[in-house]
Structure 1
Amino acid sequence: MQGFFIAAMVSASLCLSATAQARDLSDLPSPEGPILLDVGGALSRTNSGDAAHFDMEMLKALPAVRLETATAVTDGVRRFEGFLMRDLLELVGAHGSTVTASALNDYAIDIAVSEFDRYDVLVAYEMDGEPLLPSDKGPLWIVYPRDQHAELQDIRYDYRWVWQLRWLDIK
C-alpha cells in the first residue's frame, strides 16, 4: 500500500510540474510600452487573446544579432542590429509555413517560413548604431543578408524587405 501511495504522489507531482511548464510556455508577458509589433495566426504563445503584442523592450530581449549588408534602397554597406525572425517565430510557437508581413502603409507580402531557417533574416531596430524611426524605415525593418548570398540580390527578395513592419500573420 505504501508503494502505491508513493507512486501516486510522484505521478501527481509530475502532472503538476508538467501543467506549470505548459502554462509557462503558453503565455507571453504583456507589453508595458507602446506596441510596435503584432503577431497573429498559427501560434501557440500569446499575451492578448489569440495574438502576441510586442513593445521594444520585449523585442530587445530576444538575442541581438548584427548584420552588415548593402540594401537596394540605401547607399553602401549598412550595419543593422535586431533579432532573427526565426527566434521571434520560435518564441510565439509559430506552426505555419507562411508569414504575411505587413507595414504601417498596409504593404503586405507573403514569405515562406523556410527562408527564415535558410537565411539569417533579421528584424532590425537599428541601422548604423541609430534607432530606426518611422520616418526612415522604422521602427522595425525586415533585412535579408543580401551580401552573404548571391541569390538574395534578386529583386524578388528586395520586395520582402518590409520596412515600417507592424504585423505578422502566420499561416
Structure 2
Amino acid sequence: MNLLSKLLAAAVAIGGFAAVSPAYSLDKPTGDVILTVRGPDLKNANVAGTAQFDRDMLRALEQRTGTMETPWTSGKVEFSGPLLRAVLKAAGAHGQSLKIVALNDYSADVPFEDADKLDTMLALTMNGKDMSVREKGPLFLIYPFDLDPSLYNEKYFSRSVWQIKDIEVSE
C-alpha cells in the first residue's frame, strides 16, 4: 500500500470511529428542575426532547463570577453562575435566537451570539447566596457589565431576564 492509500485508510478509520463513538450525554436531573432548554434539534436532550437542569447540574458547568452595579440592585453586587454558552453546549443547542422565559411568562429575545461572544451568565447566586424567586431567582441572565461598560444600556437591560424557567432555541 502506498503512502496516499495508507493516509486515506487512516482517515476513513478515524472518521468511522468518530461516527460510532457515543455523543455527549446529559444526565437526568435528580433535584428540582429549575431550567428547561427547548429547541427543535437539541443534541443532548435528557427528558422528553428537552434539556432539563437542576441546581447541581448547573453548578457543574463552567462558571463565571462578576461584581458589578446593575439597574436592579443597590451598589455593587457579586453574581455567580454558569456561563450561558456552557448551558447551551451541555444541552447541545444550536440556533440563531434564544427566547428567555421567566416564571411569570415575561420573555425576551436574545441573539444566540450573546452567549457565544459575551460572558453572559445565568446567575444562581447573588453575594454568595442562592437567589430565591423573591430575589430575582432562581436564575437571572446577567450580562458582563463589569467587563464591558458599553453593555450598560437599555438594549442589554431589556434582555436581562430574571426568574428564568425556560430557554427556547430557534433558528
In the alignment, structure 1 residue 88 sits paired with structure 2 residue 82: no
How many Å apart are 1:18 and its aligned residue?
Answer: 4.3
How many Å apart are 1:123 and its aligned residue?
Answer: 0.6
Structure 2: give runs of 5+ residues left out of the alignment.
1-11
Give me the identity figure in percent. 34
Structure 1: give runs of 5+ residues left out of the alignment.
1-10
Residue 163 of structure 1 aligns with an amino acid whose one-letter code is W
| Corresponding residue for residue 29 of structure 2 | 31
| Corresponding residue for residue 152 of structure 1 | 151
- TM-score, normalised with respect to structure 1: 0.85
| Corresponding residue for residue 3 of structure 2 | none
Residue 20 of structure 2 aligns with an amino acid whose one-letter code is T
How many Å apart are 1:114 and its aligned residue?
Answer: 0.8
* Cα distance between partner residues in 2 of 1:138 and 1:48: 23
User: Any idea what the Cα deviations from partners look like across 1:127-165, whole Å, max 9, x if unmatched?
Assistant: 111110111100111101113223211112111111100
Partner SS for 1:170: strand
**Higher share of residues assigned helix:** 1
Given that 1:147 and 1:153 are in contact with CA atoms closer than 8 Å, whether structure 2 keeps it comes out as: no
* Cα distance between partner residues in 2 of 1:114 and 1:16: 31
Number of residue pairs matched?
158
Identify the range of structure 1 (146-155 vs 127-136) with the bigger mean alpha-carbon deviation.
Answer: 146-155
How many Å apart are 1:118 and its aligned residue?
Answer: 2.1
Map 1:22-171 onto structure 2 (within 5 A): 22=23, 25=24, 27-41=25-39, 42-171=41-170
How many Å apart are 1:15 and its aligned residue?
Answer: 5.4
User: Any idea what the Cα deviations from partners look like across 1:14-54, whole Å, max 9, x if unmatched?
Assistant: 857743423xx2x3111011110000014211001210111
CA RMSD in angstroms, aligned pairs only = 2.0
**Which contiguous aligned blocks of 4+ residues in structure 1 show a shift greater than 2 angstroms?**
14-20
| Corresponding residue for residue 9 of structure 2 | none
- TM-score, normalised with respect to structure 2: 0.85
* Cα distance between partner residues in 1 of 2:62 and 2:83: 8
Residue 50 of structure 1 aligns with an amino acid whose one-letter code is G
Partner SS for 1:91: helix
| Residues 15 and 49 of structure 1: CA distance in aligned 2, closer, same or farther (over 3 Å) | farther
Partner SS for 1:106: coil
